[in-house]
Amino acid sequence: MAAFYVECLVGFTVNMIILAAYIMKWKSLRSLKDRDKIISSLTIFRALYFSCSIVENSVLRFSPWLLKTNIVISFLFIQGTFVFYSSHWLATVLCVFYCVKIVTYNYKLFIFLKTRISIMVPWFILASLLIALISSLPVGWYCYDLKLQNVSNCSNGNITRFIIVPDFDNMFLIFAVGSFPPFVICFVTIALLIHFLLIHTRRMRSNESHIQTPNLKSHFGALKSMSLFLLLQIVYFICLHLITSGRVFHSKFPFLDSWVILCSLQLLHSLHMISSSKEVKKMFT
């Protein structure tokens, strides 16, 4: 439990530092690049996710009497799932943005996106939040039908705690439907970027050019960030299967274990973002 709270506090702090760096950049320039807008939105929802995880777990552990009403359970899980899906979708939008900016295929779709990406970024952000909200609503319907089981702990006196008994038949389907689309989009964009970079490096080698140009370094940096996100997405689906299959539920703290797993995935990507952020380095220099 202490590790979970430390994990959430570290994740919240990391994302707030990134957000503060971009706020300082905006104050000095009075504008942000499209990439900066996406990253700022992503850090906001990452910070919200870590704070919501702390609130939800605190309610489950220390105020179980609030869970006697299924409406409260539905609200907690809807808002938690919404910020979780939003962070996933915004990270996917960032992958799409990198792909459109770097890849130069002569297809009508890529030409259309490349010429209008600056106008479409705010709409991409709004659309990702709307899709995340729609995807999180079935979670509320699912949680409304959950049952609470009283578990008395006689060794600690007359303390009674509640355990939420999930329906594992529907859990995986609901969460997979909300998580699968950003996973597919991220996989396709990374595959296109890898294909383009391979062709690009082969051309440079055939022309006897130096491979490590500054532009190519930034391209591989974007590929590294996108690949890490895709890897975390794959780990997420594996963990989702373990959680929704009921194997984690038989542990001592089933929902706490689930949160530790999911928060660690968000934390790893956030740590990578802050370690590779030029704005954060400028803020501390």
Domain ranges in the chain are 2-283
Among 78, 55, 70, 56, smallest CA distance to 139 is for 78
Residue 226 has pLDDT above 50, yes or no: yes
Residue type, 170: N
Given this model, what pLDDT does residue 255 score?
55
Tokens representing residue 273 in the block: 């973002």
Given this model, what pLDDT does residue 244 score?
67
For residues 79-96, average pLDDT: 90
Given this model, what pLDDT does residue 1 score?
77
Residue 41 has pLDDT above 70, yes or no: yes
Among 46, 50, 130, smallest CA distance to 91 is for 46
Residue whose entry in the numeric block shows the structure tokens 């194997």: 247
Measured in whole angstroms, how far is the alpha carbon of residue 212 from the centre of its chain? Answer: 31
What's the topology of domain 2-283? Rhopdopsin 7-helix transmembrane proteins (1.20.1070)
Lowest mean per-residue pLDDT among 109-118, 121-130, 213-222? 213-222
Residue 30 has pLDDT above 90, yes or no: no
Q: Do 87 and 49 form a contact (C-beta atoms < 8 A)? A: yes
pLDDT range class, residue 251, cuts 50, 70, 90:
low
**Residue partners of 28: CB distance under 8 A and separation at least 6:** none
Give the pTM: 0.83
pLDDT range class, residue 134, cuts 50, 70, 90:
very high
